[in-house]
Each structure stands twice: as C-alpha cells, then as structure tokens.
A and B are shown apart, each in its own frame.
Chain A
Amino acid sequence: NAGVMQNPRHLVRRRGQEARLRCSPMKGHSHVYWYRQLPEEGLKFMVYLQKENIIDESGMPKERFSAEFPKEGPSILRIQQVVRGDSAAYFCASSATGGRLAEAFFGQGTRLTVV
C-alpha cells in the first residue's frame, strides 16, 4: 500500500522560473494538506484541499502561489517566479476524511532550491 508520494524529491530552479510540486495522496485519501518547512523550523501550513475544492488557503501567499487538487491526478503546488526565499522543504500530507478523527500522513517532501 503506497504511502503519500511526492515528486520530485529535489528541485532546483533559477530565480524567476516556475516550480511545480506534485503530491499523490495515499490510496483512498481525498484530503490533501501542503506545508512548508525551513531548516530548524516547524511546519507552516499553506493550503488544505479536498478533491476539486480549496478548503483553506489562509497560509498560502496570495501572489505567485497556487494549489489545485483535480478530480483526476495528483495535487499540484505551483510557485511562479520563484525567489531565493522560496527555498525550503515542501511537504504534503493526506487524510482519508476531513473529520475530527482523521489522521494525516506525510510524503517524503520536495526540497526546492532557488539559485
């Protein structure tokens, strides 16, 4: 039973390019959460999506960042015109439901480096 799959594991982009991070949730999971983590810091919530819906995007910058979770295919976190400050580890988690008892499981993360 495959866990949460993220790709790529490592991504290098030049300033001004676009970064696309993909997350395939665990089988049977329809809720996806994206987090950003800087070295020696905690996980910062970015966005919470259910299939075809954004439930909460309060942690995602309004400019340059967007996320989607289409009916078919993985969830995508898109960062346009990347800057050095976007360099971080981006983690995706998924849960089976959005209910109170739901447990979230994390993927291995994408390490984004902006040069």
Chain B
Amino acid sequence: QKEVEQNSGPLSVPEGAIASLNCTYSDRGSQSFFWYRQYSGKSPELIMSIYSNGDKEDGRFTAQLNKASQYVSLLIRDSQPSDSATYLCAVRAGTYKYIFGTGTRLKVLA
C-alpha cells in the first residue's frame, strides 16, 4: 500500500464548477497535511495546509481533513482554466519528512 494515494486523473470539470480532489494516507500517526499545485515543467507551489479535523477555507480553496478515515480533500470552487494543473497531496509524519502522492491532473474546460 502506498503511503499517500491519489487518483491520477485526469479530472475534467467545466469552468465555474467545483473540482473535488481526494487523497488517502496510510500512516495513522500523520499530523500535517498539505496541498501543492504544480504546473507542467514548474515546481510545486503550496496552496493549503491543514492540521485538524474539519474544513479550512482560503479563497476559492477548501481543504477537508478526516483523520479517522485517513482522508484529506481539496475543493476548488468556481474553477478556472488557470487552475488546470497537477495537484499533489503531501503528508508529514515520523521524522517529519514530507511524503507526496503521485498527484491528480485537473483539467478545467473553458
């Protein structure tokens, strides 16, 4: 079982819709969770961090964490074509290195 799992996609949504990206993790001791966005050929960019169960909102982005289900998600409201990218879920545990999923490719259709 991979430490951090994401559906590779592509996830296609129409412009203006809500995009829902999901991530599961295997280490119950994980304490910190992050979402990064990576455009093709570029470096990962931190979007959100979440540490406690529940929702955390920042602009059009909402991160949701459920530690009991070992599940973290990212919602993007009013999706724009510029949101088209690969979204990486990262989890921090153990020695506090960041472990990444393989990413979900999002396509927002104009």
Q: Which residue of B lies closest to A44 (CB)?
A: B100
Q: List which B56-100 residues lie within 8 A (CB) of chain A.
A: 88, 90, 92, 94-100
Asked whether, in the complex, the Cβ of B101 is within 8 Å of the Cβ of A33, the reply is no
Q: How far is the CA of A105 from the CA of B34 in the complex (A)?
A: 11
Q: How far is the CA of A101 from the CA of B92 in the complex (A)?
A: 9
Contact A42 to B100, CB < 8 A, known contacts A100-B31, A106-B43, A108-B43: yes
Q: List 19 A-B contacts (CB under 8 A).
A: A33-B97, A33-B98, A43-B44, A45-B100, A48-B96, A48-B97, A55-B95, A58-B97, A93-B44, A98-B96, A99-B96, A100-B51, A101-B32, A102-B32, A103-B34, A104-B34, A104-B46, A106-B43, A108-B42
Q: Which residue of B lies closest to A92 (CB)?
A: B43
Asked whether, in the complex, the Cβ of B32 is within 8 Å of the Cβ of A56, the reply is no
Q: How far is the CA of A106 from the CA of B42 in the complex (A)?
A: 10
Q: Chain B at the A interface: mostly helix, strand, loop or mixed? A: strand
Q: Besides the contacts A42-B103, A99-B96, what 18 more A-B pairs have beta carbons closer than 8 Å?
A: A33-B97, A44-B100, A45-B97, A45-B99, A55-B96, A56-B97, A91-B44, A93-B44, A103-B34, A103-B46, A104-B34, A104-B46, A104-B98, A105-B46, A106-B43, A106-B44, A106-B46, A108-B42
- Minimum Cβ distance to chain A for residue B3 (Å): 10
Q: How far is the CA of A100 from the CA of B33 in the complex (A)?
A: 10
- Interface residue B22 (Cβ < 8 Å from any Cβ of A): no
Chain B residues proximal to chain A, CB less than 8 Å: 31-32, 34, 36, 42-46, 49, 51, 88, 90, 92, 94-103
Q: How far is the CA of A35 from the CA of B88 in the complex (A)?
A: 13
- Report chain A residues within 8 Å CB of B44: 43, 91, 93, 106
- Minimum Cβ distance to chain B for residue A112 (Å): 15
Q: How far is the CA of A83 from the CA of B20 in the complex (A)?
A: 40
